[in-house]
A = this chain, B = another copy of it.
Amino acid sequence: MGSDETQQLLLSEPRDHSHVNEKTDLLQRRRTRRGRISDTETNLLQEQNVSLQTPLDSQSIDETQEAELNFKPVFLFLAAYLGTGTLCFFLASYQIQGIKTNGFLDALYFCVVTMTTVGYGDLVPNSTIAKLLACLYVFTGMALGGLILSKAADYVVEKQEVYLVKAICKAEKLGLEEVSKELVTKKSKYKFLLSASTFVVLMIVGTAFLYFVEKLDFVDAFYCVCSTVTTLGYGDKSFSTAIGRTFAVFWILSSTICLAQCFAYLADFYTEDRQRSLAKMVLTRKFSPRDLEAADLDGDKAVSAAEFVLYKLKEMGKINQEDVTAVMELFRKLDYDQSGTLTEADFRNSEV
C-alpha cells in the first residue's frame, strides 16, 4: 500500500531521531489517555529479543498492527450492536409510533438516532417493553460510542494524515524530512485540523441533502444539521423519507463521532502545547549548584548523566518520586554486594 510506504519513510528517517521519537511519544500519551496500553505491553515482550536501544522499529510496526487489530473487532461489534437493535425494534415495530417509511429501515434509523443520543422523537416507543428496551439501548450505545468508536475514528484520522503528508510534499515541493518534522511535532494540531475539515464537509453534505432531497428551506436544513451533529435533536425537523433515512444512518453516525473527535483533539492539542512549553522551560532554566546537590542520587558529589536525566524529567512532571522509589527498592535487592552499582559480579554472586 502506498500509504504504508510513506509511513515507513517517515519512521525510518535516518538522522532526525528526536522528532520521530516525539511522534511515538505523543502517540503513546494519546493511547494512554484512551485507555490503551497494549503496545507498551507488546514492547515489553518484544524486548526479550529486541534491545531497548532500538525502540523505533518495534514501535512503528506495532503501531500499524495495533490499529488494524483494533479496527476490525470495533466494526464487527458495531454491526452486531446495530443488527441486534434493528431486529428487536423491527419485531416491535407496531410498538413504535411516529412518521413511518419502511419497517426495516425505520428500525435501523431509530437505532442510530438512539445510540448517538440524537433522539429526534419522530419515532418513539409507545409500549412499556419498547420504552425499557430503548433505555437499555441508549446506555449501551453511550458506552460503545465513548469507549470504542473513538478508537476507530482515531485510526481513520491516523490513516488520513499519511495522505496529507503526500499532498503537502507534492504541492509545496518540500523535502519529506521538513514536512514530517512539522507533522510530527504538531501531531494533534494536524489531527484537529483534519477532523475539523472533515466535519465541515459533513456539515455541508448534510445541509445540501436536507435542502435538495428532504426539501427543507436553507435555514431549516442548517438548523437540522446543527441540531443533529451536536446530538441535540429537537426533532421538529428530521429525516422523514426512505432515502433521507438511508442517508441519515451513515451521516448521523459519522458526523456525531467526528464532532466529538474534534473536541477531543482540541483538548489534546492544548495539553501537548502546555507540556512542550513546560519541557522547554525546564531545559532552558539555569542549573545551579543547589540543583547539583538535589540531583545527586547516590551522594558521590557528582551528577552522572542518568541522575541528571532523572532530575530533569521529574521537574517536567513526566515521572515522580513514587515511580523512582518503587524501582529503587528493586535495585537495592539486586545489588547483591551493595556496591551502589549493578555489575556482572552481582549476577554471579546471586546465582551461587
Interface residues of A (CB under 8 A from B): 17-18, 21-22, 24-25, 28, 32-35, 37, 40-41, 43-44, 47, 51-53, 55-56, 114, 117-121, 124-125, 128, 131-132, 134-135, 138-139, 142-143, 146-147, 219-220, 222-223, 226-227, 230-236, 259, 263, 266-267, 270-271, 274-275, 278-279, 281-283, 285, 287, 289-290, 292, 294-295, 297-298, 301-328, 330-331, 334, 339-344, 347
**Which residues of B sit under 8 angstroms from A37, Cβ to Cβ?**
271, 274-275, 278, 317
Given contacts A25-B320, A121-B121, A320-B21, contact A263 B311 (CB under 8 A): no
**Which residues of B sit under 8 angstroms from A287, Cβ to Cβ?**
334, 342
Given contacts A292-B344, A331-B305, contact A315 B47 (CB under 8 A): yes
**Which residues of B sit under 8 angstroms from A18, Cβ to Cβ?**
322, 325-326
Q: A41-B278, A119-B232, A303-B342 are in contact. List 11 more A-B contacts (CB 8 A).
A: A21-B322, A32-B275, A33-B33, A43-B317, A52-B315, A134-B226, A135-B223, A147-B263, A283-B327, A309-B328, A313-B319
Q: Is the interface of A mostly helix, strand, loop or mixed?
A: helix
A229 to chain B minimum Cβ distance, whole angstroms, is: 9
Say which residue of B35, B231, B306 sits within 8 Å of A231 (CB atoms). Answer: B231
**Which residues of B sit under 8 angstroms from A128, Cβ to Cβ?**
219
